[in-house]
Chains A and B, each alone.
Chain A
Amino acid sequence: MNQPAPITGDLRAKAEALGQSLPALLAAADHLARTVMMGEHGRRRAGQGDEFWQYRPAHAGDAARSIDWRRSARSDAHFVREREWQAAQSVSLWVDRAKSMAFSGAKGRETKANRARLLALATGVLLLRAGERVGVAGGDPPKPGRAQVVPLAANLSDDAAEDYGVPDAAGLVAHGRAVFLSDFLGPLAPLQEALAQASERGVRGVLCQVLDPAEEDFPFSGRTIFDSMGGTLTHETQSAGELRARYLARLAERKDQLQGLARATGWHYACHHTGAPAQSALLWLYSALEGGR
């Protein structure tokens, strides 16, 4: 059900598919987020929608618009109604939509794309609950409020046609936060470029590599032709089993590169496997965003 409808499908079919997938994804993300809220996140804060923090005497320079007249009328001084969360972060989510994410190494295991979307949306839910502004990179600018969840989910459900995704650093809000979820198996140069742009704008964030256990294990042998998901890349081998060690070395090297890249730009990097429960990854994501180390 989580398979997105093809791009070429007619509008109605697409809408229906979206309508079917969205509530499920939303519910799953909400559910996932709720587990984290209960366990990890206990800080006190004002109730949702109530932005009031305190009244303070109006200083010179305060706009007349900002004076709370009702409060001021009860006394002689002028008071300004101060809001606690006005300095909320803008968080941009980027989930790789490329075909490589549609891979699942075993029957019954969800695809990397699904896991990445779930994680992204759950993170979004958590952040929205905490009052942050959340948006999708390359889409509308980040917005606060619970209602933002639905557009987020809709945005995340899109698919792209290319084999490996390219991060979109264009829509990042300056000094905001960003979450990149991808398998990062494609060429590294676009990622480096995106990260460079992001750090130029003071954006810091998280790189979460989502991999299928099959990609970690390389459980193949015999004569095999490997195709990329989109079919653009092909590699033929006589004995896949012999390639395993070298493949794993390359994968480790790729992870090292990603780690180095993240460290250089002040980002966080972690690798998550679709075989593992999503909660741990979500916890890590949330705390990494919070900690802002």
Chain B
Amino acid sequence: MFANLAFSAPWLLVALIALPVLWLLLRAIPPAPIRRRFPGVALLLGLQDDERQADKTPWWLLALRALAVGAAIVGFAGPVVNPPARQAGTGPLLVLLDGGWADARDWPRRIDRAQAAMDEAARMGRPLAIATLTDTPDLIAFRNPADWQGKLAGLAPRPFLPGKAEAWAKILPEGGFDTLWLSDGLDHPGQAALMAALGGHGSVTIVASPRPVYALHPARFADGKVRLSASRLPVSQETSLEVSARGPDPSGVDRELARGILAFAPGADRAELALDLPPELRNRLTRFEIIGQRTAGAVALSDDSLKRRKVAIVTASAEREGLQILSADHFLKQALAPTAEVIEGGLSDLLPAKPDVIILPDIARLTQTEQDGVLDWLDQGGLLLRFAGPRLASVDPVTTGDDPLLPVQLREGGRSVGGAMSWDQPRTLAPFAESSPFHGLAVPADLAVTQQVLAQPGPDLADHTIAELTDGTPLVTRKALGQGQVVLFHVTANADWSNLPLSGLFVQMLERLAVSTRAEAVSGGPDLAGLTWAPEKMLDGYGQPADAGQMAGIKGEALAAALTSGPDADVPPGLYRNEDRLIAVNALPADAKLTAATWPAGTVVEGLDAPGARALGGWLMALALALLSVDVVAALALSGRLPRLGRAAAVLVLLALMPLPQARAQTPTTPDPAADARAVEATRGIVLAHVLTGNPQVDDIADAGLRGLGDQLWLRTSVEPEPPMGVDLEKDDLSFYPFLYWPVTADQPLPSPAAYARLNRFLRTGGMILFDTRDGDIAGFGGSATPEALALQTIAASLDIPPLEPLPKDHVLTRTFYLLQDFPGRFNTPDLWVEAAPPDAEQAEGMPFRNLNDGVTPVIIGGNDWAAAWAVNGDGSPMFPVGRGQAGEDQREIAYRFGVNVIMHVLTGNYKSDQVHVPALLERLGQ
């Protein structure tokens, strides 16, 4: 790499001579000592140093400093690796670009390269010309490089490859000039001739990109799968490309519908991919593209060849006995089955399936409902294909009226030609008129029509006829109906009336009518010929689709040529439409092969990405700075001032290395003896639990309160709770506890999501939480926002709490054990919130309360600091005074009663509420 080293200011390197001087200078100066005031110096007097070597700068420090200064000097001299190349030569310069889609992969860099050549030419005063081989060959005129500035910026890769190189070779300007050819690396027709011609004018420099070219061939449909193939150049190691199949989703938005991997085997230039897609998806495909390759070559547009039309063949309602080969739809099925999705059945069954085509083989009359349905379907763009037959021929239009589902009105009876009872020869088809969709199809010689239905003559009969017999009678007529059309074959769909269904022409005609599509059909051939194809969507060089705009239509023959030999300027890649048929011209034909360009021996070939100039000055300066900072530390160390700095650095390093708070590990489900012991303790009896808030005082009071309440329960009821337990929401299992007392503190941390999940499960499975904000002395609950109330709001926000209401007078809590009307703790505020009663609760008959039979309220929220009222010391004496005097003791008694009621409510649910039914139950029992 240092072969390409240059300096922008080389004379600065002279300063390197001064380095030895620096060596001497630095050697002479020892590091400065520190002065310290120290009373103990009196004791130091006379002490000699063991060794006196440190007054010279150590050699390694010298080397360090010399290196730092040297790096700075070299850095200032501006070293540059791979300095910009200079284009040698004089005289005119021709910059030649291929300009095809293969250039699109690195087009900006090609433009940069051309720009660099142009700048160089401008500096050297060389006339310049820029030409793109994909353009129509034009005279090359050398001009002032500045004149080309605008043209160069406006260049864009074309979606096809250059194909007329030898035409360029013929119109090269006279005189000598040098050429810079930015090649895409592919071999193009006439390239060698052009190269030879250019070589005759002057030196030719080839610039080629090493980036591989990937191109996608048109997708085929075979064996029920969409088959994609891609070519690459150069052939190299194993590579896999991702191919995205895109198309509109049901709402019309372009999306990726499928994705596959194209794997190139080592040494293979072609890779295949088969996508197995359901028909619904397949019919929606519009394009395939190699992901990450933005060239027209990496895009394969899909056309009708992938689509499988849904063709509904209406079978006659009455099953007809007879040979299958004679059935009206046998040949239709034979013709359509390979290329279309055929469904059969009654018309009313088929219409909801929204087929693309409905075929009515000799069905004369539809019911009114069916007819309306078909008309609606036609309005939306359906194709109704009818075949004549004995039944259609027997309809008398005079008596039955006009059939709107016929393109022309028929005469009753039809006619027979060339039969046993006729003098005539069987008729054959006349060549198709130019306006016919069948124009261009060859009529086989042995075609014979023996019977047909005849159309009523009329002024518009000729307009409706798209195929006729040699005697001018219509064989196929057509009429547009709404968005759709009705096509009538005036013969049967089987071989009864003609041998048309047996011929290949029949299939081609069906294709022309877009009844069926065939993969082979799009690869060219006669079925394109004779038609004019209107460009619909065009690809640009990067593979992006664009509307065709005002482009002129393309002859079918030209289209067929483009499909086999690749697109060119006249037939650019894109989608071409003729009536209902859509043909895709892709940048790369199906059987094309990417061949590498070969250049005559001795041609200069440069890489496109000549390594960019890299200035090393910054790195060297940074190195110098780093060395100098090392020198600072080293100098400090030498002069003994490092320890203090070392401490500071150590602190900094420690701070930097301070471990982040470790993510809480999910506790694995390993058996935990402590948890087991706790579970055993919690399930030995009824255990009242309180939530540990982290505030030891509050937790102690809660514990003592539940102990006091437990004592009262022992004394007064058959509930005999075990000593209460504190519950850590983050760790402990809540399912053992029927009741949680939760004193809310203002600074309580929010439970983790896992704890919330446990809490919500606890609430849903019948647990109850008594929230106590303990602020009843300063705020009625919910009245003013105390810190505790706010904390409770935050905590409860994520809890699964039903709608609440202030405790109604008839709530079951008022009578589960004691009859209570207020619920004091240490404080006596009336606000107590419980789950709201259902709005349709009714007053019970003869009872002072409503019928509220279901549900234990999952939460009780209040602020009366019950635990403090319940709390007892170890000896059973109250821990806190309540109120004043005997009134206070009465309040404590009510508080205990409230506690008993709550526990009874938790344990017995709405049992007391059910008492409302006791009279009725007694009555039912018959006393």
**Residues of chain A at the chain B interface (Cβ within 8 Å):** 100-101, 103, 112, 164, 183, 185-187, 212, 214-215, 218, 220-229, 233-243, 246-247, 250-251, 254
Within 8 A of A (CB), among B20-49: 30-45, 47, 49
B639 at the A/B interface (Cβ < 8 Å)? yes
Q: In this complex, which of B33, B38, B53 has the most chain A Cβ atoms within 10 angstroms of its Cβ?
A: B38
B interface, by DSSP: helix, strand, loop or mixed? loop
B636 to chain A: closest residue by CB: A222
Which among B33, B45, B641 is the interface contact of A225 at CB below 8 angstroms? B33
- Complex CA gap A242/B723 in Å reads 68
Total A-B residue pairs with C-beta atoms closer than 8 Å? 111
- Complex CA gap A254/B42 in Å reads 11
Q: Please tell me if the beta carbons of A235 and B44 are within 8 angstroms of each other in the complex.
A: yes
A186-B42, A238-B52 given; A228·B33 CB < 8 A: no
A220-B640, A225-B34 given; A243·B44 CB < 8 A: yes
Q: Could you give 8 example pairs across A and B, Cβ below 8 Å?
A: A103-B37, A187-B42, A215-B38, A218-B40, A223-B54, A228-B42, A233-B45, A235-B45
- Complex CA gap A250/B37 in Å reads 18
A238-B52, A242-B49 given; A185·B42 CB < 8 A: yes
In the bound complex, residues from chain B placing their C-beta under 8 Å from that of A250 are 43-44
Q: Please tell me if the beta carbons of B49 and A239 are within 8 angstroms of each other in the complex.
A: yes
- Complex CA gap A186/B42 in Å reads 7
Q: In this complex, which of B40, B50, B639 has the most chain A Cβ atoms within 10 angstroms of its Cβ?
A: B40
In the bound complex, residues from chain B placing their C-beta under 8 Å from that of A221 are 640, 643
Q: Please tell me if the beta carbons of B640 and A224 are within 8 angstroms of each other in the complex.
A: yes
Which among A220, A239, A254 is the interface contact of B43 at CB below 8 angstroms? A254
Q: Please tell me if the beta carbons of A226 and B36 are within 8 angstroms of each other in the complex.
A: yes
A interface, by DSSP: helix, strand, loop or mixed? mixed
Contact with A along B52-95 (1 / 0, CB 8 A): 11110000000000000000000000000000000000000000
A223-B639, A240-B640 given; A229·B43 CB < 8 A: no
Q: Please tell me if the beta carbons of B43 and A251 are within 8 angstroms of each other in the complex.
A: yes
In the bound complex, residues from chain A placing their C-beta under 8 Å from that of B44 are 226, 235, 237, 243, 247, 250
B638 at the A/B interface (Cβ < 8 Å)? yes
In the bound complex, residues from chain B placing their C-beta under 8 Å from that of A241 are 640
- Complex CA gap A164/B40 in Å reads 11
Determine how close the nearest CB of chain A comes to the CB of B246; give it in whole angstroms.
73
Q: Please tell me if the beta carbons of B41 and A223 are within 8 angstroms of each other in the complex.
A: no
In the bound complex, residues from chain B placing their C-beta under 8 Å from that of A185 are 39-40, 42-43
- Complex CA gap A189/B45 in Å reads 17
Q: Please tell me if the beta carbons of A222 and B49 are within 8 angstroms of each other in the complex.
A: no
In the bound complex, residues from chain A placing their C-beta under 8 Å from that of B31 are 223
Q: Please tell me if the beta carbons of A237 and B47 are within 8 angstroms of each other in the complex.
A: yes
B520 at the A/B interface (Cβ < 8 Å)? no
Q: Please tell me if the beta carbons of A226 and B47 are within 8 angstroms of each other in the complex.
A: no
In the bound complex, residues from chain B placing their C-beta under 8 Å from that of A228 are 37-39, 41-42
**Residues of chain B at the chain A interface (Cβ within 8 Å):** 30-45, 47, 49-55, 638-643
Which among A224, A226, A238 is the interface contact of B51 at CB below 8 angstroms? A238
Q: Which 5 A-B pairs have the closest CB atoms?
A: A222-B640, A100-B39, A223-B33, A226-B41, A250-B43
- Complex CA gap A241/B51 in Å reads 12
| Given A222-B34, A222-B639, A224-B640, 15 new contacts (CB under 8 A) | A164-B42, A185-B42, A187-B42, A222-B640, A223-B32, A223-B55, A224-B35, A225-B36, A226-B37, A227-B37, A237-B44, A238-B49, A241-B640, A243-B49, A254-B43
Q: Please tell me if the beta carbons of A225 and B39 are within 8 angstroms of each other in the complex.
A: no
Q: Please tell me if the beta carbons of B39 and A222 are within 8 angstroms of each other in the complex.
A: no
In the bound complex, residues from chain A placing their C-beta under 8 Å from that of B643 are 221
A186 to chain B: closest residue by CB: B42
- Complex CA gap A237/B55 in Å reads 11
In the bound complex, residues from chain A placing their C-beta under 8 Å from that of B40 are 185, 215, 218, 226, 247, 251
In the bound complex, residues from chain B placing their C-beta under 8 Å from that of A212 are 39
In the bound complex, residues from chain B placing their C-beta under 8 Å from that of A223 are 30-34, 54-55, 638-640
- Complex CA gap A220/B787 in Å reads 56
In the bound complex, residues from chain A placing their C-beta under 8 Å from that of B36 are 220, 224-227
A222-B641, A223-B54, A233-B41 given; A243·B47 CB < 8 A: yes
Determine how close the nearest CB of chain A comes to the CB of B31; give it in whole angstroms.
6
Determine how close the nearest CB of chain B comes to the CB of A243; give it in whole angstroms.
6
Q: Please tell me if the beta carbons of B42 and A103 are within 8 angstroms of each other in the complex.
A: no
In the bound complex, residues from chain A placing their C-beta under 8 Å from that of B55 are 223, 238
Determine how close the nearest CB of chain B comes to the CB of A220; give it in whole angstroms.
7
Determine how close the nearest CB of chain A comes to the CB of B50; give it in whole angstroms.
5
Determine how close the nearest CB of chain A comes to the CB of B826; give it in whole angstroms.
44
In the bound complex, residues from chain B placing their C-beta under 8 Å from that of A236 are 33
Determine how close the nearest CB of chain A comes to the CB of B32; give it in whole angstroms.
8
Determine how close the nearest CB of chain A comes to the CB of B802; give it in whole angstroms.
62
A238-B49, A247-B47 given; A103·B640 CB < 8 A: no
- Complex CA gap A288/B33 in Å reads 45
- Complex CA gap A239/B55 in Å reads 10
In the bound complex, residues from chain A placing their C-beta under 8 Å from that of B45 are 233, 235
Q: Please tell me if the beta carbons of B54 and A225 are within 8 angstroms of each other in the complex.
A: no
Determine how close the nearest CB of chain A comes to the CB of B684; give it in whole angstroms.
55
Determine how close the nearest CB of chain A comes to the CB of B46; give it in whole angstroms.
8
Determine how close the nearest CB of chain B comes to the CB of A258; give it in whole angstroms.
13
In the bound complex, residues from chain A placing their C-beta under 8 Å from that of B37 are 103, 226-229
- Complex CA gap A238/B641 in Å reads 13
A112 to chain B: closest residue by CB: B39
B53 to chain A: closest residue by CB: A238
In the bound complex, residues from chain B placing their C-beta under 8 Å from that of A226 are 36-38, 40-41, 44
In the bound complex, residues from chain A placing their C-beta under 8 Å from that of B41 are 226-228, 233-235
A219 to chain B: closest residue by CB: B643
- Complex CA gap A103/B642 in Å reads 23
- Complex CA gap A226/B53 in Å reads 19
Determine how close the nearest CB of chain A comes to the CB of B635; give it in whole angstroms.
11
Determine how close the nearest CB of chain A comes to the CB of B49; give it in whole angstroms.
5
Determine how close the nearest CB of chain A comes to the CB of B419; give it in whole angstroms.
128
In the bound complex, residues from chain A placing their C-beta under 8 Å from that of B49 are 237-239, 242-243
